[in-house]
Structure 1
Amino acid sequence: MAKLFKYICILFLVFVIVVLGLVVTAIESYPTVITHSGEQVNEAESVKKLMKQLSDSVKNRTHKQTINISQDQLNSLVGFAQRAHGQLNAQVSITSHSTSILASYLLPNNPIGQYLNIDILLLPGPGIKVSHVKLGSVKVPGNLALSTLVYLANWYTSSDIASQFVRQVESLAMSERQIQLSVLPLAQFLKELNDVKQGVGGSNDEEMRLRTAYYLKQLSLLDVGKRLSPQSLSEYIAVVFRLAKNRSNYETAPKENEAAIMALAIYAGHHRFANLVGDVQPKKAKVAMPNAKPTLAYRKDLNQHFIFSAAIKILSEQGLSIAIGEFKELMDRSDDGSGYSFVDLAADFAGVEFAIAATSSASAISLQNILAESADEGLFFPNIQDLPEGLSKNEFNRKFTEVDSPEYLKMVQSINQRIANLPIHQAR
C-alpha cells in the first residue's frame, strides 16, 4: 500500500510539472497580433448579410445550406469581441489554401508572462479540418485540438451536441477573403440544441426566478398595460420599483431590483428573456405583455434599446452590453439599415447604467426611493435632443472618420455626461 501511494504521488507530481511546463511555455512576453477594433468594426454593416444567411438557414432547416462568410465579416465580429473585452486582440486571414486565426489575450499580472498567443490554421476540404493549434510555442496537432474541444463541450453540456455540430459541417471551401460553408440539414440539430439550451442555458438561481415571477405577475395586472395606446416605460418602472422598495432591505435591494429589471425586460421588451430566468410566466402557455409596447421619448424603439441593454447587463458584463448596442448601430449604416443613431446609443448606455445603479448595494435603495415617487422619464433617461441619427456610412465617416476618433469619442463623452447628470445617478 505504501509503495502504491508513493507511485501515485510521483505520477501526480510529474503531471503537475508537465502542466506547469506547458503553461510556462505557452505564455509569452509580447503579443503576436495587435489590432485596432475601431478599424475592424468599420465593415460591421457587412455582417447584416451574414445574419440574413444564418436566419434563412434556420428557416430552411430541412435542406442543405451554403453559407458564404467573408474576411471582413469575421474581422468585424472579432472587432466587436475586442470592444466587449478589451484584453483580446485577434485577426482572421482567408486565402484559397487556408484560413488563419491569430489571437493574443492579455493576462492578469503574473511572474510568467503577459500574453497567451493563439494560432489556429483551418484547411479546406470535407468536414472541419484543423491543421494545427499553437498556444505560444506549444504546437498541438489539429485533430487532437479539435477532439479535445469537442470532448470538453460535450462534457460541459452533458450531451454530444459538439460532436453533432462537427458532423453538420459537410465541407469548407476557401477563396481569397471568403469561406464557403456547406452544412447538412439543421432540423434535428436545432431541436437537440434547444434541448441542451434548456438544460444549461437557464438560470440556476431559484430565488431570482421566484422574484422575477412575482414582478412579472404584478406587471400583468396593471391597468396601464391594458390600454390600447402606448404608454411610457416610466409608468411601469414607477410601479415595479415601488413594489421592490416595499420588499427590500439593505441586503436584498440589489436582488429585488435585478429581478424587477428582468421582469420589465420580459414584459415590456421581449418574452424570450424568460428563457434565461426560468418558468416565470403567470399563466401557462400565455405570454404576459402589454396591449401596446411602451415608449421612451415617445418612441418604441428607444424603450427596447433601454430595457434590452439593462437586461443584458444583468446577464453579462457591462462591456458586452455596450458593444452590442454600438455594433448594432454600425450594422445599421448599410443601405437597407436605419442609419447610425447616437440616440439609440444613448438609450443603450442609459440602460446599462440603469442596471448598474439598480444592482449596486451603494445605490439600490436610493434608486428605489427616486423611481417609486414619480413616473418621470427624466429620472432615468437622458435628453436626446441634438444627438445625430440616421447616418449612412458615408455620412458617419465624413463627420466622425471612424469609431474611436476624437470626434466620435467627444460625442460618446457627451452622452455619458447626460446620463451621469440624471437624478438616479446623483445619489451614487
Structure 2
Amino acid sequence: MLTVLVVAIFDTQPSVESLAPFDTAEIREIEQIIADNSPAYGQQSESDLSLDSDSLNLLTNFALQQIQTLKGSAIRFTIDEDTANTRLAIPQSLGPVDFYLNIRARFAQQDGRAQLQSLHFGQLPVPLIVQRSVEKLAGFRLQAASPASQELASLRTNIKDYQLRNDRLYLKVQWEPETLEQIRTYSQQMLVPPEGQQRIVEYVRQINLITSSLEGQRRISLVTLLPELFAFAAQRSHDDAAQENRALLQAMSLFVTDTPLTQALSSSVSVETPTLPAIRTSLYRREDLSQHFINSAAMAASTNPDVAEVLANSKEVYDARLRSGFSFSDLAANLAGVRLGEIAVHNQDSALWLQSYMQTLTEESQLLPRPRTDADGLSESDFAESFIDRNSPVYQQRLQEIETMIDALPLYQEAPERQPQE
C-alpha cells in the first residue's frame, strides 16, 4: 500500500522545468513591481495589484529560489479568464535516487473571489476537507510562531480580496505605514533559527557593553562599534565564524533601526532580553547611510544577496516616487552592505578574514567610498529627466562608477575569492 502511495505521489520527471538564472532586466522588473505597489509613505492606503501570468511567474519563481529548502523548485501559473492553473515541481532525493513532488492546483472565481477548487499531489487528488484543514493549520502555525512570523502573518491578512478575471489575478491590498520596511525586516528575521537567536542576544549585550562607556553621546560612527564587535565575534568563532558574523549583523540591524530585540525572538528562546541602547549610528554623519549599509549587510547574510539588492533597490524606486527621492548615496550604501554580508558568511575562511580585517577599521572610507550627493533626493520626474530609466546607458554608467569605487576598497578587493560553496 505504501509503495502504491509513493508511486502515485512522486514522479521521476518535473512537471515544470527549472528556470535559467534571472537576468538584469528581470530583476529590474521585480523591483519595479514591488515599488509600484508599495504604500504612500506614512499613510494608510488601499492598493489594487494586477498581475498577468508572466509577472506572477516572475515573482513566485524568484521567491522560491531564495528559500534554501526549495532550491531547484519551479512554479508555473496559467490564467485563462476567471480560472488559474498552477504547477509546482519540488525536487527530492533519497540516496542516489532523484525524484519530484509535482503539485497541481486549480483556482476559479467563486462567490466573488478566487478560491481553490482542486489540489493534486502527483496523481493523488487531495480531498476538499483536507485542503481546508491544511490552510487553517498553516495559518495557525504561522501566527503562533515567533513575533516576526506573527508580523508576517498580519501582513498577509492585509490582502483583502483575490479575484480572477480577464486573464489576470487582482489583489486588493491594505497597506499600512512603513509596510515595505517591515517586509525587509521580517523577511530577514524569519530565517533566524533558535540557536541563532541566542547568538543575537549575546551581540545585543555586547552592543550595550560597548555603548555604556559612551554616555552623553547621541550619535556614533559605525567605526566606533564594529571593530570591538568583530573582535568579540572572533573570540567566539571556534567552529562557525559565519554564524557569528550573521548574528552580529542581525543584532546591528535591530540596533540601527531601533527595533526591539523581542521582534527577532521566538517563544522557544527564554532569556532575559537586554534593551537596545538609545544611540544613533552614522556613516559620513548620516544616519540613513548607516541604516542602508547595515540593513543590506544583514539581509545579504541572512537570506541571499539577490533578495537584499531587490528589496533595497525597490525602496529607492519607491522613495523616488513617494518619499524622500531616489538617492545614489543610499544605493552605494546598499551595494557595499550587500558585499559585506556576502563576505561575512561565504565560508569559514572568508568569515574569519572579515573578522580580522574589521578589527583594523579606523576610517569610514574603509567601509564605503565618500558618497557623491549631486544626484540625491531625485523625484521620479527628475530621475527620468537625468537618467531616463534604470536600464538606460547613463544610469548603468553611474551604477558602474559606484561599483568600481566599492570594488577598489581593500575590504572588498582583498577578501578571499568568493567561490561557490559545496
* Same fold per superposition (TM over 0.5): yes
**Radius of gyration: which is bigger?**
1
Residue number in structure 1 paired with 2:219:
230
Residue number in structure 2 paired with 1:259:
247
Report how far residue 15 of structure 1 moved. Answer: 1.8
1:271-330: per-residue Cα shift (whole Å, max 9, x none)?
A: 24653345999965x621233x11112211111111112222232122211111011112
1:94-143: per-residue Cα shift (whole Å, max 9, x none)?
A: x9x637577888989x99999x897754415256523456899x897995
Is the CA contact (8 Å cut-off) linking 1:133 and 1:140 kept in structure 2? Answer: yes
Output the CA distance in 2 between the equivalents of 1:119 and 1:400.
Answer: 43
Output the CA distance in 2 between the equivalents of 1:146 and 1:51.
Answer: 38
Residue number in structure 2 paired with 1:98:
82
Match of 1:129 among 115, 118, 129: 115
Report how far residue 398 of structure 1 moved. Answer: 4.5
Match of 1:153 among 120, 123, 138: 138
Output the CA distance in 1 between the equivalents of 2:390 and 2:78.
Answer: 20
Residue number in structure 2 paired with 1:337:
323
Is the CA contact (8 Å cut-off) linking 1:341 and 1:391 kept in structure 2? Answer: yes
1:294 partnered with 2:281: yes
Report the CA distance shift for 1:73/1:407 in structure 2 as closer, same or farther (over 3 A). Answer: farther
Alignment of 1:278-357 (within 5 A): 287-291=275-279, 293-334=280-321, 336-357=322-343
**Percent of paired sites with the same residue:** 20
Report how far residue 377 of structure 1 moved. Answer: 1.3
Output the CA distance in 2 between the equivalents of 1:396 and 1:144.
Answer: 53
Report the CA distance shift for 1:78/1:411 in structure 2 as closer, same or farther (over 3 A). Answer: farther
Residue number in structure 1 paired with 2:402:
415
Residue number in structure 2 paired with 1:213:
201
Report the CA distance shift for 1:318/1:168 in structure 2 as closer, same or farther (over 3 A). Answer: closer
Alignment of 1:242-253 (within 5 A): 242-249=231-238, 251-253=239-241
Report how far residue 218 of structure 1 moved. Answer: 2.4
Report how far residue 402 of structure 1 moved. Answer: 3.9
Residue number in structure 2 paired with 1:373:
360
Report the CA distance shift for 1:356/1:294 in structure 2 as closer, same or farther (over 3 A). Answer: same
Alignment of 1:50-89 (within 5 A): 67-71=46-50, 85=65
Output the CA distance in 2 between the equivalents of 1:134 and 1:404.
Answer: 41
- Where 1:375 maps in the other structure, the secondary structure is coil
Output the CA distance in 2 between the equivalents of 1:166 and 1:325.
Answer: 21
Output the CA distance in 2 between the equivalents of 1:30 and 1:415.
Answer: 30
Output the CA distance in 2 between the equivalents of 1:214 and 1:399.
Answer: 47
Report the CA distance shift for 1:327/1:81 in structure 2 as closer, same or farther (over 3 A). Answer: farther
Output the CA distance in 2 between the equivalents of 1:170 and 1:289.
Answer: 38
Report the CA distance shift for 1:163/1:374 in structure 2 as closer, same or farther (over 3 A). Answer: closer
- Where 1:384 maps in the other structure, the secondary structure is coil
Output the CA distance in 2 between the equivalents of 1:205 and 1:404.
Answer: 41
Residue number in structure 1 paired with 2:9:
19
Residue number in structure 1 paired with 2:179:
none
- TM-score, with structure 2 as normaliser: 0.68
Report the CA distance shift for 1:68/1:165 in structure 2 as closer, same or farther (over 3 A). Answer: closer
| C-alpha RMSD over aligned residues | 5.1
Residue number in structure 1 paired with 2:370:
383
- Where 1:49 maps in the other structure, the secondary structure is coil
Output the CA distance in 2 between the equivalents of 1:374 and 1:154.
Answer: 46
Report the CA distance shift for 1:167/1:259 in structure 2 as closer, same or farther (over 3 A). Answer: closer
Is the CA contact (8 Å cut-off) linking 1:332 and 1:340 kept in structure 2? Answer: yes
Report how far residue 227 of structure 1 moved. Answer: 3.3
Residue number in structure 2 paired with 1:5:
none
Report the CA distance shift for 1:213/1:168 in structure 2 as closer, same or farther (over 3 A). Answer: closer
Output the CA distance in 2 between the equivalents of 1:113 and 1:407.
Answer: 47
Output the CA distance in 2 between the equivalents of 1:164 and 1:45.
Answer: 20
Output the CA distance in 2 between the equivalents of 1:294 and 1:167.
Answer: 34
Is the CA contact (8 Å cut-off) linking 1:379 and 1:422 kept in structure 2? Answer: yes
Output the CA distance in 2 between the equivalents of 1:417 and 1:163.
Answer: 40
Unaligned runs of 5+ in 2: 67-71, 175-185, 417-422
Matched to 1:70, the amino acid is L
Residue number in structure 2 paired with 1:8:
none
Report how far residue 69 of structure 1 moved. Answer: 2.1
Unaligned runs of 5+ in 1: 1-10, 57-66, 184-196
Report the CA distance shift for 1:413/1:89 in structure 2 as closer, same or farther (over 3 A). Answer: farther
Output the CA distance in 2 between the equivalents of 1:39 and 1:303.
Answer: 27
Report how far residue 76 of structure 1 moved. Answer: 7.3
- TM-score, with structure 1 as normaliser: 0.67
Is the CA contact (8 Å cut-off) linking 2:83 and 2:107 kept in structure 1? Answer: yes
Report how far residue 163 of structure 1 moved. Answer: 12
